[in-house]
A and B are shown apart, each in its own frame.
Chain A
Amino acid sequence: MRQLLNGNEAAAHAARLARVEVLASYPITPAAPAMEKITQFIAEGSLKARFIRVESDHSAMAAALGASLAGARPFLITNSQGLAYMSEVLYHTSGLRQPVVMAVVNRALAAPHSRFPEQGDAVAQEAAGWIQLFCENNQEVLDSLLQAFRLGEDEGVRLPVMVNYEGYIQSHTRETVDLPQQEEIDGFLPLMRRPALDVANPMAVNTVAGPELYMDFKYHQDAALQQAAAVLEEVSAAYARLTGRDWGGPVAGYRLEDAEVVLVAMGSLVSTARIAVDALREEGEKAGLLKIRLFRPFPAVAVRQGLPAARAIVALDKNIVYGVGGALGRELRASLYGHASVPVFSYILGLGGRDAGVADLAQIYRQVRENMVAGLTPAAYQWYGL
């Protein structure tokens, strides 16, 4: 069934279709409407779930974690300040291997105060042990969220998943979204109960781990996270068989075969870059696009395989890791190091809602092309659009 939905509505429908059982969320702009839509589903009876009207984001994550530990399928939504405030609980959730799914409606972190889109909030949690997916449009928001439950709950993974889409650009913009049938999703996402807190089978969770244990637990956790890339391939393929929509695995290429200059992006910039690539191709440019769908674990192998003909790579980052540069730029260089000597031109753009449109990406492309032809070594990173 096709409907015009904004990103928040798409996320809410995903929660409904996944039959989430516990919703714990604390209002924050521009994520709050997604939460309100789900509470509306609960009120009208189209979703049987308990809403916990928590007093803070920290408690939202804590309540979702408690619900997961007790065997339910929880869901929550947040961003920016709320996500930063949850940070401590994010680590508990991954360390305790709970497959909690959360939508993150990316927004810039203060200060200075901003409520506009940017991916720095998710990037700041890159080491928290969560799987992180980024979506380019609202259909992907819905589809990735549904896939996220199956991915996180996979026996070999058992980890929490963040599904990212940008504030306003996605959360408040309507697009056509095809909604799968409930029965289809029920088959795709069977409910598995694996309570850690169970009076029938008691266990003490999060006992103090000394130096003789802590590191081994972390080894297993990291190994499970590494599994997520391969499992995402399987989950995406299964989802494609069900719905006909294939978002690919950890990365997806666009016009890459003979591409010499490749734009690399995640989130809404991907759709923008797609149009830019088409326009550049019209002009005879050998432009291509590599979409990063999975940011954590970072799919280094898939990235290398995706860039066969590249002579220059353009990392487009809507985030800044202060003193280092863009997260994608850093990851791309690390992924290629020792494998290919392709220069990575790293751009910081679109922070705090600053426009980054098709013309901007085309301009960046031309800059990079010139530098490449001139054989210039890329700067560590540059700010675009100041």
Chain B
Amino acid sequence: MELINSLAAVPDTELFTGGHGGCRGCGAALAARQAMKALGPRTIITIPASCMATIGGSGLTTAWEIPFYHSLFECAPAVASGIRAALDIQGIEDVNVVSWAGDAGTADIGFQSLTGAAERQENIIHVCYDNETYMNTGGQAGSATPYLAATPDTPAGKPTPRKDMLAIMAAHRPAYLATASVAYPLDLIQKFQRAREIEGFRYIHILAPCFKGWGIKEDQTVQLARIAVECGLWQLYEEVDGRRRVTVIPERRLPVREYLRLQGRFQTMDEATIAALQAAVDRRWQEVPS
């Protein structure tokens, strides 16, 4: 396999086309568009209830150029397992089977079927596109919502920290695990390329900001996805057989304060909390080999 190493080498074909129903500047749609560049046309995707399940298919129209099934909220990885079994029994081998869920469809209501599929080492790719809230129902807090983020149901800020889905998924010993960000499309595309080549259960977690939920402007989606990496809150890495490799070391390091203060949802966060968060991020960065 040849890794796509430059923007010029990215295929032009759009497998998640324009005309979809996402909001302006939708990070979720952007994640799908980028990933499809690597996954290619021989891919079957199933997406549970979420923004992404609805924006790509309305009435008798769709933005998907590949087989797509808008599944129920709890069970995209189970559906994907069934699809894989059906392909296996028909002797169809060279198809990527992807369950692609939001943070709720991954970490909350979808977690039961996800942990099941991961434990069974199903030969599928599960993708979490993470906007850190329940956007399709109005941006309520879920387990992926960060500490003190204000949402419609946590107006004073979410009182508990974010669930560490990456640690949880790593504990399932997947064949491949990676983080990605829509601000680093080549890194994202390469990770999907590598995931494609590996058999077994693969998990990719993409930070995909949503301007509505985050209290930013529509044109800041990519900017925030980048600053999240630059301030160290979102590390880009991959793990094959449990061995971690950091894939992007940002050219500049920014304080977390900058990331937080750009967003409307962290307005209630005080300086002491920000300092504590900064200290935690700094500790984590010391572990990263340069």
Q: Is the CB of A67 within 8 A of B82?
A: yes
Q: Does chain B have a CB within 8 A of A203?
A: yes
Q: How distant is the Cα of A196 from the Cα of B67 in the complex, in angstroms?
A: 8
* B contact residues vs A (CB 8 Å cutoff): 41-44, 46, 54, 56-62, 64-72, 74-75, 77-83, 85-90, 95, 112-113, 115-116, 119-120
Q: Is the CB of B62 within 8 A of A58?
A: no
Q: Which B residues are CB-close (under 8 A) to A89?
A: 72, 75
Q: Mark A178-189, 1 if CB is under 8 A from B, else 0.
A: 000000000000
Task: Given contact pairs A69-B83, A69-B86, A199-B44, enumerate 12 new A-B contacts (beta carbons under 8 Å).
Answer: A53-B120, A56-B113, A58-B112, A59-B77, A60-B78, A64-B82, A66-B79, A66-B86, A70-B86, A197-B83, A199-B66, A213-B59
Instruction: Sample 15 A-B pairs with CB under 8 A, ordered by A number.
Output: A21-B85, A24-B85, A52-B120, A56-B113, A63-B78, A63-B81, A65-B79, A193-B90, A196-B69, A198-B67, A202-B41, A204-B56, A206-B70, A207-B70, A210-B59
Q: Does chain B have a CB within 8 A of A74?
A: yes
For residue B40, which residue of chain A has the nearest CB? A199
Q: Is the CB of A66 within 8 A of B82?
A: yes
Q: How distant is the Cα of A59 from the Cα of B282 in the complex, in angstroms?
A: 41
Q: Does chain B have a CB within 8 A of A386?
A: no
Q: Does chain B have a CB within 8 A of A62?
A: yes
Cβ contact of B83, chosen from A55, A60, A66, A206, cutoff 8 A: A66
Q: Does chain B have a CB within 8 A of A342?
A: no
For residue A202, which residue of chain B has the nearest CB? B67
Q: Is the CB of B82 within 8 A of A209?
A: no
Size of chain A's interface in residues, with CB distance under 8 A? Answer: 46
Q: How distant is the Cα of A55 from the Cα of B172 in the complex, in angstroms?
A: 14
Q: How distant is the Cα of A54 from the Cα of B59 in the complex, in angstroms?
A: 32
Ranked nearest first, the 9 interchain pairs of A and B with the lowest CB-CB distance are A66-B82, A55-B116, A207-B57, A204-B62, A59-B78, A72-B86, A63-B82, A70-B86, A62-B75
Contacts A50-B85, A54-B81, A66-B82 given: A204-B57 contact, CB under 8 Å? yes
Q: Is the CB of A62 within 8 A of B56?
A: no
Q: Does chain B have a CB within 8 A of A212?
A: yes
Q: How distant is the Cα of A92 from the Cα of B75 in the complex, in angstroms?
A: 12
Most chain-A Cβ atoms within 10 A of its Cβ — which of B46, B74, B85? B85
Q: Is the CB of B112 within 8 A of A24?
A: no
Q: How distant is the Cα of A95 from the Cα of B58 in the complex, in angstroms?
A: 16
Q: Is the CB of A66 within 8 A of B113?
A: no
Q: How distant is the Cα of A7 from the Cα of B13 in the complex, in angstroms?
A: 54
Nearest Cβ on chain B to A69's Cβ, whole angstroms = 6
Which A residues between 64 and 116 are near B, CB-CB below 8 angstroms?
Answer: 64-72, 74, 88-89, 92
Q: Is the CB of B42 within 8 A of A197?
A: no
Q: Mark A21-34, 1 if CB is under 8 A from B, else 0.
A: 11010000000000
Nearest Cβ on chain B to A7's Cβ, whole angstroms = 26
Q: Which B residues are CB-close (under 8 A) to A38?
A: none
Most chain-A Cβ atoms within 10 A of its Cβ — which of B68, B71, B78? B78
Q: Which B residues are CB-close (under 8 A) to A203?
A: 67-68
Q: Which A residues are CB-close (under 8 A) to B75?
A: 58-59, 62, 89
> For the complex, would chain B's binding face be called helix, strand, loop or mixed by DSSP majority?
mixed
Q: Is the CB of B57 within 8 A of A206?
A: yes
Q: Which B residues are CB-close (under 8 A) to A197?
A: 44, 67-69, 83
Q: Does chain B have a CB within 8 A of A379?
A: no
Q: How distant is the Cα of A203 from the Cα of B68 in the complex, in angstroms?
A: 6
Nearest Cβ on chain B to A128's Cβ, whole angstroms = 14
Contacts A22-B86, A64-B82, A207-B58 given: A199-B42 contact, CB under 8 Å? yes
Q: How distant is the Cα of A196 from the Cα of B82 in the complex, in angstroms?
A: 13
Q: Which B residues are CB-close (under 8 A) to A202?
A: 41, 64-68
Q: Does chain B have a CB within 8 A of A208?
A: yes
Q: Does chain B have a CB within 8 A of A49?
A: yes
Most chain-A Cβ atoms within 10 A of its Cβ — which of B46, B68, B71, B81? B81
Nearest Cβ on chain A to B61's Cβ, whole angstroms = 7
Nearest Cβ on chain A to B14's Cβ, whole angstroms = 13
Q: Is the CB of A208 within 8 A of B69?
A: no
Q: Which B residues are CB-close (under 8 A) to A208?
A: 54, 57-59, 70
Q: Is the CB of B82 within 8 A of A207?
A: no
Q: How distant is the Cα of A277 from the Cα of B271 in the complex, in angstroms?
A: 84
Q: Is the CB of A199 within 8 A of B60?
A: no
Q: How distant is the Cα of A15 from the Cα of B120 in the complex, in angstroms?
A: 24
Q: Which A residues are CB-close (under 8 A) to B120?
A: 52-53
Nearest Cβ on chain A to B80's Cβ, whole angstroms = 7
Cβ contact of A72, chosen from B64, B66, B68, B85, cutoff 8 A: B85
Q: How distant is the Cα of A88 from the Cα of B116 in the complex, in angstroms?
A: 19
Q: How distant is the Cα of A207 from the Cα of B59 in the complex, in angstroms?
A: 6
Q: Is the CB of A56 within 8 A of B116?
A: yes
Q: Which A residues are CB-close (under 8 A) to B42?
A: 199
Q: How distant is the Cα of A199 from the Cα of B119 in the complex, in angstroms?
A: 27
Q: Is the CB of A62 within 8 A of B78?
A: yes
Most chain-A Cβ atoms within 10 A of its Cβ — which of B71, B79, B87, B113? B79
Nearest Cβ on chain A to B175's Cβ, whole angstroms = 18
Q: How distant is the Cα of A49 from the Cα of B82 in the complex, in angstroms?
A: 12
Q: Is the CB of B67 within 8 A of A67?
A: no
Q: Is the CB of B56 within 8 A of A58?
A: no
Q: How distant is the Cα of A88 from the Cα of B109 in the complex, in angstroms?
A: 14
Q: Is the CB of B71 within 8 A of A62?
A: yes
Q: Which A residues are CB-close (under 8 A) to B44?
A: 70, 197, 199
Q: Which A residues are CB-close (under 8 A) to B82?
A: 22, 24, 52, 62-70, 74
Cβ contact of B72, chosen from A48, A53, A92, cutoff 8 A: A92
For residue B120, which residue of chain A has the nearest CB? A53
For residue A22, which residue of chain B has the nearest CB? B85
Most chain-A Cβ atoms within 10 A of its Cβ — which of B60, B82, B116? B82
Q: Is the CB of B68 within 8 A of A205?
A: yes
Q: Which B residues are CB-close (under 8 A) to A92?
A: 71-72
